[in-house]
Chains A and B, each alone.
Chain A
């Protein structure tokens, strides 16, 4: 069965520091998709990125970057020059065809609570 582990329960840094959120996944499928979501205090999950298992190219979007490494089953998320507005809970999630195919649900990690102090 698939599994997503976010070992960091909470991270606190001072504004402008760089911070990396770790995500390790388990799946038996060779085709799978990985996601990162942000959950601000309001509660609504905001989609950040999707990656498929065939594309290991790292991605950068502004201050956000993602490092996907199949060799270590990791999909880590880095925020450069963090800002107070980045404070939120961040979830890593996995979707694969082990669930039976079709548009099945995502398997989420437990999330990392990121606190950016001014």
Chain B
């Protein structure tokens, strides 16, 4: 079945450590996205990529980094510079044109203590 996978579902880290969240899609979508969701809040865009080897900052990119070396993969690194990293992280993909719906993965819940 086509879809988006994120791993792991739950992740625990100590403060000061970098951590990388995985996102893979087999939908042959050009565009991929990372969002952050905090309790009682909507989703906020961290980074997005419209094609391989290119990506753009979203609204809250500080403290995060990404890469897009393959069409299927868009990993997100939460660095130690991110002041409040504990959150639910959702990856999405879409066909790439403006206005196309995005399809989401199951999410990774990151807890940093």
Enumerate chain A interface residues (CB-CB to B < 8 A): 4, 6, 9, 32-33, 35, 37, 42-47, 50, 52, 91, 95, 97, 101-106, 108-111
Complex CA distance for A50 and B97, rounded to whole angstroms: 13
Tell whether, in the assembled complex, residue B101 and residue A50 are in contact, meaning their CB atoms are under 8 Å apart. yes
Query: In the complex where A109-B42, A111-B42 touch, is A44 in contact with B104 (Cβ < 8 A)?
Result: yes
Interface-centre pick from B30, B40, B41, B98 (highest chain A CB count, 10 A)? B98
Complex alpha-carbon distance, A32 and B48, angstroms: 19
Report A-chain residues with C-beta under 8 Å of the C-beta of B78: none
A-B Cβ contacts below 8 A, count: 74
Q: How far is the CA of A101 from the CA of B98 in the complex (A)?
A: 7
Question: Chain A residues near B99 (CB, 8 Å)?
Answer: 32-33, 50, 52, 95
Does B63 touch A at the CB level, under 8 Å? no
Contact across chains for A106 and B98 when beta carbons are under 8 A apart = no
Nearest-neighbour CB distance to chain B for A64, whole angstroms, equals 15
Within the assembled complex, what's the spacing in Å between the Cα atoms of A33 and B99? 5
Bound-state Cα–Cα, A111 to B90, Å: 15
Picked from A4, A44, A46, A97, the residue with its CB within 8 Å of the CB of B98 is A97
| B4 CB to nearest chain A CB (Å) | 9
Q: Is B75 part of the binding interface, using a Cβ–Cβ cutoff of 8 Å? A: no
Task: Please measure, in the bound complex, the distance between the C-alpha atom of A104 and the C-alpha atom of B92, giving whole angstroms.
Answer: 12
Q: Enumerate chain A residues within 8 angstroms of B59, measured Cβ to Cβ.
A: 105
Ranked 5 nearest A-B pairs via Cβ: A105-B45, A108-B42, A33-B99, A103-B31, A45-B104
A52→B58 CA distance, assembly (Å):
23
Render B57-71 as a binary contact track against A, CB cut-off 8 A, 1 for contact: 011000000000000
B contact residues around A45 at 8 Å (CB):
43, 90, 92, 104
Within the complex, the shortest CB–CB distance from B49 to chain A, in Å, comes to 9
